[in-house]
């Protein structure tokens, strides 16, 4: 029997004995008993009862804790799953013990889990206080370690950090975040000997613009790397450890650059690659021995989510990008070196590559240019996050240029895009669409992307900048189209193409057929927004969203306002022009 249980038994027995001695008395108050006549006797019994109360309070707390631990839903999770959930709540981008302390303050169970699991204590940070690193090293004596040497520590902090890092076996080093500066240069020599167990490498040289060249001599022996984020530094790009990557991000590399054959080998051997960003990689020249043969097989990256080549040597971009097959990619940015913009060839694989980011975009701009550098520029609002690879979150979208030399070629491209989008069976999220056409040959009709419009049910704003002066009538004819939906044998429903369109903006410098355009617009308004319904057939027509803005060239706006148009729209409010007074 435990001491507490023995104490309770003795104390309760004494208490009950006193109560029993009073059972024949007319009073129920034990203080009337002769046993408690003295002050010391009373104090003794008070002490006994207070100690019993303390014991019971502790037992109640233990029982509450046990009840919570054994019957709370979250505590019924397997410990390994609970640990994974807690790890997701840790802000690893700014890891520190204070944030861990807040997480551990939720309950004793959470606190015990965090203190006993070394996975919460992997970071050895040069900018942390010495006692914080000591605590992390104590809580994680044998597990993997993430070493952060960044920013601008003072000499004392750097010396203490290096001393702590030297006590960690190199087999425990899991990742390195190294910011090469004059203050941290002394750490590089030690780092060169600690690369054999690394799986994540994040290196930055902010002085690359001043010609400072730095490389990390990655050991050829060791596990495959997982995340590689290199900025202004070099690696042995032919290393066998640069395979099975999940991330490859290369920025501001002007020396020790990867040759096309090295990049090809890395990408071809990394089918699980999720993020590929190559930015500002522009060497003076490419080693001819590093070029790719023209018969190189495609690079298949089935789970790639982000593809970015920006301001990259044309010799690298022309060699690598056309070979990439990544139909699940949601963020694609391909731009050329300096003023020379790289243009993708409009082939089937190209449109398969672009289909997903176009579908995911909420706004899209199509700019067609003929003459000189003829191209179709497809652009939405993608975002390539500049943060370290661990914490980067890209925004879906597309920004590419396609090679095209004629209006007929452009029409074929619209058809190819329609086929690819149709094969996926999904509508886009596009709410705003901008179309620009500039050409050296006036008078030819602009082939509108009618197939794309059929995949834009959420489109609300359509802007068209037309240098040819021939785009308005095809556009109006397109907006008058109806799509039939069969709902049963006795009823059918028709809906307008782009049913949510309520802002149409058309800009043109020269309009050859101004009168015909005004008539076409009048017919469009009366048909799509009639003053009353005269449809007596069994077919039902879904009403479109009322037009709020019809922005036109001033001459066309004046002609349209002067017409007698049968519509429920308030044309004085709807028809606008930036060149009209009032």
Which of 234, 242, 284 shows the shortest CA–CA distance to 261? 242
- The pair of structure tokens assigned to 381 is 């609002």
Specify the number of domains making up the chain. Answer: 2
| Domain annotation covers residue 530 | yes
Beta strands 375-379 and 363-369, pairing class = antiparallel
Helix (H), strand (E), coil (C) string for 170-219: HHHEEEEEEECCCCCHHHHHHHCCCCCCCCEEEEECCCHHHCCCCECCCC
The highest-confidence range among 3-17, 263-277, 485-499, by mean pLDDT, is 263-277
Q: Taking residues 228-237, what's their average pLDDT?
A: 94
Structure tokens at 199: 């799986």
Query: Is the confidence at residue 24, as pLDDT, over 60?
Result: no
β-bridge partners, 539 = 492
Q: Which of 71, 86, 112 is the last residue of a domain?
A: 71
pLDDT higher at 444 or 329: 329
**Mean pLDDT across the chain:** 85
Strands 145-149 and 123-125: parallel
pTM (2 d.p.) = 0.81
pLDDT at residue 99, as a whole number: 85
Q: Which of 55, 71, 87 is the last residue of a domain?
A: 71
Map residue 91 onto helix, strand or coil: coil
Residue 442, pLDDT score: 45
Cβ pair 317, 337 in contact under 8 A: yes
CA distance 410 to 122: 55
Please enumerate in sequence order all residues whose Cβ is within 8 A of that of 253, keeping only pairs 6 or more positions apart, or say none: 208, 230, 231, 232, 233, 234, 280, 281
Q: Does 529 map to a domain?
A: yes
Position 188 scores a pLDDT of 92
What does DSSP assign to residue 119?
G
Residue 551 lies in a domain: yes
| Closest alpha carbon to 175 in 216, 134, 225 | 225
Dist. CA 204–CA 207, nearest whole Å:
9
Phi, psi of 234 (to 5 degrees): -125, 160
Reported as a single tens digit per residue, the pLDDT across 494-514 is: 788 899 999 999 998 777 788
In the predicted model, what is the mean pLDDT of residues 215-233? Answer: 94
In a domain, 39, yes or no: yes
The residues near 250 (Cβ < 8 Å, ≥ 6 apart) are 230, 231, 258, 277, 278, 279, 281
241 with 224: CB under 8 angstroms?
yes
Alpha-carbon distances, residue 404 vs 40, 312, 369, 416, 582 (angstroms): 106, 22, 9, 13, 42
Q: What is the largest CA-CA distance in the chain?
A: 122
- Say what percent of the chain tops pLDDT 90: 51
DSSP per residue over 246-284, as a string?
SEEEEES--SSPPPHHHHHHHHHT-TT--EEEEEEE--S
User: Tell me, what's the pLDDT at 353?
Assistant: 93
What is the average per-residue pLDDT within 132-148?
95
Q: What is the residue range of 23's domain?
A: 3-71
Confidence of residue 446 (pLDDT cuts 50, 70, 90): low
CA distances (Å), origin 86, targets 80, 81, 222: 10, 9, 30
Q: Which of 16-25, 202-211, 247-256 has the lowest mean pLDDT?
A: 16-25
Residue 407 lies in a domain: no
The residue whose two tokens read 């021995």 is 289
Number of Cβ atoms within 10 Å of the Cβ of 274: 18
Instruction: Please report, in angstroms and rounded to a whole number, the separation of the first and last CA atoms in the chain.
Output: 97
pLDDT score for 269: 97
Q: Say how far apart CA 230 and CA 402 lie, in whole Å.
A: 29
Can you give the pLDDT at residue 369? 75
Residues of the chain with pLDDT > 70, as a percent, come to: 84
- The neighbour count for residue 120, using CB atoms within 10 Å, is 23
Angle between helical axes of 3-21 and 39-71 (0-180°, round to 10): 130
- Indicate whether 556 belongs to any domain: yes
Over range 198-206, report the average pLDDT. 94
H/E stretch holding 421 reads helix 407-424
DSSP state of 34: G
- State the CB neighbour count (10 A cutoff) for residue 525: 23
Q: Which helix (H) or strand (E) holds 558?
A: helix 554-562
Q: Across the strands, what pairs with 314?
A: none
Length of the chain: 582
Cα separation, 529 vs 571, whole angstroms: 11
Please indicate whether residue 259 or residue 1 has the higher confidence score (pLDDT). Answer: 259
Least confident of 135-139, 345-349, 360-364, 487-491: 487-491
176 pairs with which residues across the strands? 147, 201
Q: How far apart are CA 113 and CA 120, in angstroms?
A: 9
Instruction: Please give the average per-residue pLDDT across 361-371, as a whole number.
Output: 86
**Token digits of residue 16:** 């009950």
Q: How many CB atoms lie within 10 A of CB 187?
A: 22
Which pLDDT score is estimated for 285?
Answer: 56
Mean pLDDT in residue range 68-88? 83
Q: So what's the pLDDT on residue 533?
A: 56
Quick one: tokens of 434?
Answer: 């901008």
- Give the tens place of pLDDT for each residue, 89-128: 998 878 888 889 999 998 888 999 999 999 999 999 999 9
Contact 324, 350 (CB under 8 A): no
Higher-pLDDT residue of 158 and 207 is 158
Among 26-30, 378-382, 505-509, top mean pLDDT goes to 378-382
Of the candidates 71, 97, 125, which is a domain's last residue?
71
Distances (CA, A) of 3 to 6, 8, 34, 200: 5, 9, 30, 54
Residue 502 counted as domain residue: yes
Helix orientation angle between 108-116 and 39-71, rounded to the nearest 10 degrees = 70
In a domain, 494, yes or no: yes
What is the Cα–Cα distance from 512 to 31, expressed in whole angstroms? 114
* Residue 25 per-residue DSSP state: S
Distance CA 233, CA 258 (A): 11
Q: What's the pLDDT tens digit per position in 404-436?
A: 877 788 888 889 999 999 888 778 999 999 998
pLDDT at 538: 41
């Amino acid at each position: 029997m435990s001491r507490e249980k023995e104490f309770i038994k003795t104390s309760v027995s004494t208490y009950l004995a006193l109560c029993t001695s009073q059972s024949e008395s007319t009073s129920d108050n034990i203080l009337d008993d002769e046993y408690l006549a003295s002050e010391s006797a009373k104090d003794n019994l008070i002490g006994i009862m207070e100690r019993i109360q303390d014991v019971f309070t502790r037992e109640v707390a233990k029982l509450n804790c046990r009840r919570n631990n054994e019957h709370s839903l979250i505590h019924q999770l397997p410990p390994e799953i609970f640990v994974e959930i807690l790890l997701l709540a840790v802000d690893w981008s700014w890891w520190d013990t204070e944030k861990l302390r807040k997480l551990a303050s939720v309950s004793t169970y959470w606190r015990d889990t965090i203190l006993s699991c070394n996975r919460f204590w992997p970071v050895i940070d040069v900018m942390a206080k010495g006692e914080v690193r000591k605590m992390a090293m104590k809580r994680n004596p044998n597990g993997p370690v993430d070493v952060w040497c960044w920013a601008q520590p003072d000499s004392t902090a750097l010396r203490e950090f290096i001393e702590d890092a030297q006590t960690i076996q190199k087999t425990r080093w899991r990742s390195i975040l190294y910011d090469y500066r004059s203050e941290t240069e002394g750490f590089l020599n030690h780092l060169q000997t600690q690369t054999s167990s690394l799986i994540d490498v994040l290196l930055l040289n902010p002085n690359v613009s001043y010609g400072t060249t730095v490389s990390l001599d990655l050991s050829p022996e060791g596990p495959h790397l997982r995340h590689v984020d290199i900025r202004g530094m070099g690696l042995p790009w032919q290393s066998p450890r640069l395979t099975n990557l999940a991330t490859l991000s290369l920025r501001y590399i002007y020396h020790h650059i990867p040759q096309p054959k090295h990049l090809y080998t890395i990408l071809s051997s990394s089918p699980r690659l999720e993020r590929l960003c190559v930015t500002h990689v522009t060497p003076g020249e490419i080693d001819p021995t590093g070029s790719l043969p023209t018969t190189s097989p495609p690079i298949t990256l089935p789970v790639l989510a982000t593809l970015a080549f920006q301001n990259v040597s044309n010799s690298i971009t022309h060699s690598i990008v056309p070979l990439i097959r990544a139909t699940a990619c949601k963020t694609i940015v391909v731009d050329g070196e300096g003023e020379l913009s790289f243009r993708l060839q409009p082939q089937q694989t190209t449109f398969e590559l672009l289909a997903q980011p176009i579908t995911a975009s909420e706004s899209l701009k199509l700019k067609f240019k003929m003459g000189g550098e003829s191209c179709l520029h497809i652009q939405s609002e993608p975002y390539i996050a500049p943060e370290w690879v661990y914490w980067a979150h890209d925004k879906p979208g597309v920004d590419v240029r396609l090679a095209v030399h004629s209006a007929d070629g452009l029409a074929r491209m619209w058809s190819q895009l329609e086929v690819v989008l149709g094969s996926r069976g999904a509508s886009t999220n596009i709410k705003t669409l901008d179309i620009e056409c500039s050409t050296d040959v006036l008078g030819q009709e602009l082939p509108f992307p009618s197939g794309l419009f059929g995949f834009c049910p959420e489109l609300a704003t359509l802007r068209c900048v037309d240098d040819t002066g021939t785009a308005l009538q095809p556009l109006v004819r397109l907006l008058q189209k109806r799509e039939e939906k069969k709902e049963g044998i006795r009823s059918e429903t028709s809906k307008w193409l782009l049913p949510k369109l309520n802002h149409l903006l058309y800009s043109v410098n020269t309009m050859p057929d101004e009168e015909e355009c005004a008539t076409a617009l009048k017919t469009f308004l009366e048909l799509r927004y009639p003053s009353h319904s005269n449809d007596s057939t069994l077919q039902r027509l879904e009403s479109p969203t009322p037009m709020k803005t019809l922005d036109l060239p001033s001459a066309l706006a004046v002609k349209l306002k002067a017409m007698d148009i049968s519509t429920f729209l308030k044309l004085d409010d709807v028809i606008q022009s930036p060149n009209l007074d009032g």
